[in-house]
A and B are shown apart, each in its own frame.
Chain A
């Protein structure tokens, strides 16, 4: 009798049954689906609710029991939003801000990411560490001096005050650098060099085309983040020249809050990011899972 033999036998006999059980652990059963559907419902409900409220009258919203399905007043409410506030200006401002910021972040991040991944220069590692370090800095806490600067420049209340600080992000540079490091073989660039390409031409003709998938993901994230940005626009812009988010804040601050009006505006303001999300959801999920961490 050896010690090995004294060990209690496995509870389950080896063989097909075990394999079935093992598979059963990995494959979701009915409870998994039930839980996932509950999570999905919880995720989607507030957005759905916003849509429900935007299609109702104030009386219907304030009734007991509340109505849980959309009504027929969506377009009337949308018209009211554009009549009572300058929401069109807010939309235009938000499109200009998010568009400019997105193009700029993608361009500068790709350029710098390329240099950090594929070009050799003195101080490269120190500068890269600096970028990684600045990612963790809560720049929002510098909001007072930033406002003083904008007031000094005469930019307070203007949308370039919102655009300019957003033109670059540490995250973007780091994200593109990681991509170039993995995606572009040095041999490819070497071959380009042999043909007499300078680094800018290498960037434009070799690196940039190869970086398109990562640049697209970065662009999606940047656009959504710029569109949703709240604190700084609230501080530096005026109610007369708002972005969508600050216009929402102004609408919600009315003496009596008419939720059909406010939530219609919220719904309109969510449509652009929702459209991006529905079109490119797979890429966004992939981007987050591959380490696209936003602060």
Chain B
């Protein structure tokens, strides 16, 4: 009798409380090392605070934000961020659609091609950037050598605003396009082939079928990818940092021509140790990311589904 009672009690405990124990590790660790720092950023952004004298932190209301709004380096960094967002996100999605379309045909060595497109995504961002920095080198880079062959002359990729943005965009697009292509491919395979058969009978050619059937049916996936790519591309840091590594890496080029907002946050936070100011950049960047992702959503939502 006593034994029965004990097992019953244990069973009750097991069904009622044990599940919380199983999910607790996630919430504990994420709460302490993920969510708390994120929210605390807002508090730090209202302080005049640096690494060296944290006791001397003073509450300054919105002084950091006021300074930020009048800071030309910040606006330069935001401009670069938006330019890079456009130069990375749009080609990523267009190329990914194109590659997914190719992968969706019946081909031999299917797995080889699929693995091939994902290869860039498994290489580290640090290695990728260093490799591309060498390829885009002014004097001995392969890209300039090829341009020279075609008589286009050499380009000092790091020096100009436009050229440096193109070079960085190439790195990002190279690393992420294949990944998005596989996501699109998965959705393409779910499109019933009868739709294409009917369209073929109606005389629609491949291009018409792509824009009138494939793209509209992939709309949810395109919206999703746009948002995911936006959150990534709005906080590019490793690429601009390592494109011109060295003592002044955090400024993103000699004239800050490719300093992103995330890189400016890093410069203020971890080379000047101005934690309050750096946190205000983080908050504004977070808001800007939400706004831009919203714009991306509105743009991709307009794809006609007919």
Contact = CB atoms under 8 A, between A and B. Distances in A.
B247 A228 contact: no
B301 interface: no
Interface residues of B, number: 100
B183 A288 contact: yes
Contacts of B201: 10, 12, 18
A173 B26 contact: yes
Interface string B180-201: 0011011000000100110011
B85 interface: no
A168 B30 contact: yes
A238 to B, nearest CB: 12
Nearest to B179: A288
A115 B54 contact: no
A199 to B, nearest CB: 5
A11 B205 CA distance: 12
Contacts of A139: 34-35, 37-38
Main secondary structure, interface of A, reads helix
B127 A21 contact: no
Contacts of A249: 126, 241-242, 245
Interface string B116-141: 11111011111110111111000110
Interface of B: 7, 10-11, 14-16, 18-20, 22-23, 25-27, 29-30, 33-41, 44, 51, 54, 99, 102-103, 105-107, 111-120, 122-128, 130-135, 139-140, 142, 145, 174, 178-179, 182-183, 185-186, 193, 196-197, 200-201, 203, 206, 228, 231-232, 235, 237-238, 241-242, 245-247, 249, 262, 265-266, 269-270, 275, 278-279, 282-283, 285-286, 289
Closest 9 A-B residue pairs measured CB to CB?
Answer: A142-B37, A142-B38, A228-B124, A28-B105, A145-B37, A115-B22, A165-B33, A145-B40, A40-B116
Given A47-B120, A173-B23, A259-B134, 4 more contacts: A36-B113, A119-B19, A138-B286, A199-B14
Interface of A: 10-12, 18, 21-22, 25-28, 32-33, 35-36, 39-40, 42-44, 46-47, 49-50, 53, 61-66, 108-109, 111-112, 114-116, 119-121, 124, 127, 131, 134, 136-149, 151, 164-165, 167-168, 170, 173, 196, 198-200, 203, 224, 227-228, 230-231, 235, 244-246, 248-249, 252-255, 257, 259, 262-263, 266-267, 269-270, 273-274, 276-277, 281-282, 284-285, 288-291, 293, 295
19 contacts: A26-B105, A27-B106, A46-B131, A46-B174, A138-B235, A142-B38, A142-B282, A143-B37, A148-B44, A228-B126, A235-B266, A245-B126, A248-B130, A262-B134, A270-B123, A284-B118, A288-B183, A289-B183, A290-B186
